[in-house]
Amino acid sequence: DWDCTDIGVQKAEFDGKGDIKKTVACSHPILPVERLINIDSNTEKLKLAFFKDERWQEVTVDCTTCYNKQNITVLGDRGVMVTSESARDLVRYIADVVSLNAKSTEDCEAIPKYRSISRLGWIKDDRSDKYEFVPYVDDIRYDGDIDFESIYSQVRTFGDREAWYQMAKEIRKNPIVRLLIATSLASPLIERVGALPFVFHLWGTTSFGKTVSLMVAMSVWGNPES
């Protein structure tokens, strides 16, 4: 019953007098594009895509936000045009789209469903009974705090491994850098070997090399400049 076009989301209904009544859920296009099931808590979130300011944007929110007319107004802080008046209709629209696209049909594909997580670290894949290290897993999405999303996205496989080896081999001649690289590499092993956690405290004056050493240690996992 809903029409999602360039001018927004709306539908036409007949009222009690037989007249056509137009209901506007949102003044710009918006639709759920992914369902995210958190592997730690087994809770579900929705990724919504909306077109505003001449570009597509995305926001990931709890289902308790999407399906509650009091809660969904918080999406206004993320750029979604929703008011206390339109909240009820927007909730109905999102719920309708999700329920009608829960399974694939001959006419359309279902809304994609992914495993998700809000942290970095080890997870156990129940399908293979093996451990995997997030975020180096292709079919897992991030669903955590938006403030940490940019950090999560920068931890990824990239670059020339052999070139990194050559750089690290040379720079490890500095004992501080060697300790930091060892700390960085050892941190994910603690859980797997059942060891106690540890803290490496690096202290020094200006130009001591703290920042560069930390960037080298972070380059083990991703982009140190981000």
Is it true that the peptide bond before 112 is cis, omega within 30 degrees of 0?
Answer: no
User: In angstroms, what CA-CA distances link 182 with 74, 144, 176, 193?
Assistant: 44, 28, 10, 16
Predicted TM-score (pTM) of this structure:
0.79
Residue 150's pLDDT band, with cuts at 50, 70 and 90, is confident
Residue, of 18 and 27, whose pLDDT is higher: 27
User: Which residue, 4, 7, 72, is CA-closest to 33?
Assistant: 4
Q: Is the pLDDT of residue 128 over 80?
A: no
Q: What percent of the chain has pLDDT over 90?
A: 68
In whole angstroms, how large is the CA radius of gyration of the chain? 24
User: In angstroms, what CA-CA distances link 37 with 28, 61, 117, 139, 175?
Assistant: 27, 12, 8, 12, 44
Residue 138's pLDDT band, with cuts at 50, 70 and 90, is confident
**DSSP E strands: which ranges in 63-112?**
none
Using the structure block, give the residue that is written with the tokens 């007949």. Answer: 14
φ/ψ of 210, rounded to 5, equals -65, -50
